[in-house]
Structure 1
């Protein structure tokens, strides 16, 4: 297909068509991720004065990648793992646009998706067990049985993903056994691993007590558009995953639990102390980093890997590579506990 064979189409129109075609092919959460990633690209094209996809070529994509890596607007610049996801999604988008004769059919094949090394594929950042204990102690004292308290407990003690926490309904709680049933209910509340991610998790008595006190206390009784009663609720109904994420960024800031600022910032002037900006605190932690800290703490405490795998819905290989971030000496100490004194 030559340039003369292309048919004009705006980036916005191309994105609308792409999202419409992928709807039904992709899980709702994945489709939202694609829309978020691609909208940063189409918005960037508009800023560059490019209003026709016919004008997008390899150099355009390269310039966008440089911008993502070094600037990225008001967001954090992309690391190589984030860039891999961004470029992979863009390549899928360009394949569909090529079918529309919006870009040359050879363009998608010329886009190289980054290939991070094994070390780069895994984020070593985690929250320590000591910090988490301090945060949970604070919440137990000052925000007991709040939705933040319950969400953080489930992320740490299960360890549950934010999507799994969001998916829970009131009927998934069994107060007699102190158990939660994680169920795959697409399209509104899918589990990451689909039906294979379904499992029941029995909580320790003191954790179950917090969940029950939340239900009996501050939980807002509400029914969503599907006629379901979410376990964790807001005034608007079932929280979106980004809301749960923001709660975790909030409560993992040292200043949030009156622990001062380890970065020598003026808390009143700090950008991370404002609403919705908690992720800008270097000490705040994402749900993934909380989950990573939880897996590491469980393994260090002697919890067998298959137990964490079943409770947290992750294969043992994934736990090993992406979640267990113990150092070499810590792993050696774990092994030493299983070595007999006399054989």
Structure 2
């Protein structure tokens, strides 16, 4: 604490900060900042820090460790939380509540696309929010169809890219996945990857409406009619991937969990959507879908056939159920025993 600082309680400092930003950001952003900073206020109370003047770099380190270890925040979430805290401390410096260089002592996690990729997956509540948003505002659009198929079938992006209009059987409610390397749509596991995937009546209706309203009736260079199409022909895998990144940004349906302002966010445009820390590509959706199916107590061998991955591969690379998840599923079966 220096002689130039003026005493200010953490809770009062937060109120002043939020008031200073009230006309600068949306109500949703303000609520998000309020929620994050309340965690900081609670930590200050627990550690008997009653004056912002007393905060130092070591305290910020302990708060970061607390949020990471005790609250279990992932790097992506930590980045958003600490970004808000840093901006708050920058404000506090302007009202003589903390040292002017304190905010610079906050170290943000460095995130790279694919970091801890093995553990990145789309969670059910996230998937539900995405699909509800798509169903409400982008019903039967190409991106609606893509996310719907990825989540409910767990298919790979290459398989989705390979679907022709004639591969969708609305009578038997299934999609035929076929290996056609001679016309640039191979399946990852070749002939062994060929299979028919069942779909529900509700999904079938969305696919039907997509073909009726939003599908481009075009023929590709091999004389095939692609299911996922644009005015130029079969949609490329990179464009499908771009749709996933754009569709999975949380700001589509709610608050930005990273404290970013939309007008300034580098991921606001579709072409840069992958820069959003919370957006995901096809593989995390596939991983989340497989884990979700297993949590619904669908036998591993059934999931294996549906997603074209051996039980061993599923266990090693896709199954993200916790030990407690597995125990509870075993309990349900064991309770049937007399």
Interval of TM-score (by shorter of Structure 1 and Structure 2): 0.5 to 0.7
Secondary structure of the corresponding residue to residue 119 of structure 2: coil
Aligned partners of 1:207 and 1:329: how far apart in 2? 32
Residue number among 271, 284, 301 corresponding to 1:306 in the alignment = 301
Q: Which residue of 2 aligns with 1:200?
A: 196
Q: Is 2:322 the partner of 1:295?
A: no
Higher RCO (Cα < 8 Å, 6 or more apart): 2
Residue number among 280, 290, 294 corresponding to 1:285 in the alignment = 280
1:282, CA displacement in angstroms?
1.0
Q: Is 2:334 the partner of 1:339?
A: yes
Q: Which residue of 1 aligns with 2:217?
A: 221
More displaced stretch, 122-131 vs 168-177: 122-131
The alpha-carbon distance between structure 1 residues 262 and 151, as it changes in their structure 2 partners (threshold 3 A), is same
Aligned residues of 2:219 and 2:225 also touching (Cα < 8 A): yes
Q: Which residue of 1 aligns with 2:268?
A: 273
Taking only aligned residues, the RMSD between alpha carbons, in angstroms, comes to: 1.7
Residue number among 165, 169, 172 corresponding to 1:174 in the alignment = 169
Secondary structure of the corresponding residue to residue 120 of structure 2: coil
Q: How does 1:93-242 map to 2 (within 5 A)?
A: 123-187=118-182, 188-242=184-238
Aligned partners of 1:235 and 1:76: how far apart in 2? 34
Runs of 4 or more above 2 Å deviation: 75-79, 340-343
The alpha-carbon distance between structure 1 residues 340 and 197, as it changes in their structure 2 partners (threshold 3 A), is same
1:275, CA displacement in angstroms?
3.1
Aligned partners of 1:195 and 1:139: how far apart in 2? 33
Secondary structure of the corresponding residue to residue 123 of structure 1: helix
Q: How does 1:246-261 map to 2 (within 5 A)?
A: 246-257=242-253, 259-261=254-256
Aligned residues of 2:219 and 2:226 also touching (Cα < 8 A): yes
TM-score by length of 2: 0.65
Q: What are the Cα deviations for residues 167-220 of structure 1, in whole angstroms up to 9, with x where unaligned? A: 000110111111110000004000000000000111011011111111111101
Secondary structure of the corresponding residue to residue 222 of structure 2: coil
Aligned residues of 2:242 and 2:270 also touching (Cα < 8 A): no
Secondary structure of the corresponding residue to residue 181 of structure 1: strand
Q: Larger radius of gyration, structure 1 or 2?
A: 2
Q: What are the Cα deviations for residues 31-86 of structure 1, in whole angstroms up to 9, with x where unaligned? A: xxxxxxxxxxxxxxxxxxxxxxxxxxxxxxxxxxxxxxxxxxxx94786xxxxxxx
Q: What are the Cα deviations for residues 228-280 of structure 1, in whole angstroms up to 9, with x where unaligned? A: 000110122111111111111111101123x1201111111011112311111
Aligned residues of 2:148 and 2:203 also touching (Cα < 8 A): yes
More displaced stretch, 300-309 vs 332-341: 332-341
Q: How does 1:55-94 map to 2 (within 5 A)?
A: 76=112
Alignment length, in residue pairs?
227
Unaligned runs of 5+ in 1: 1-74, 80-119
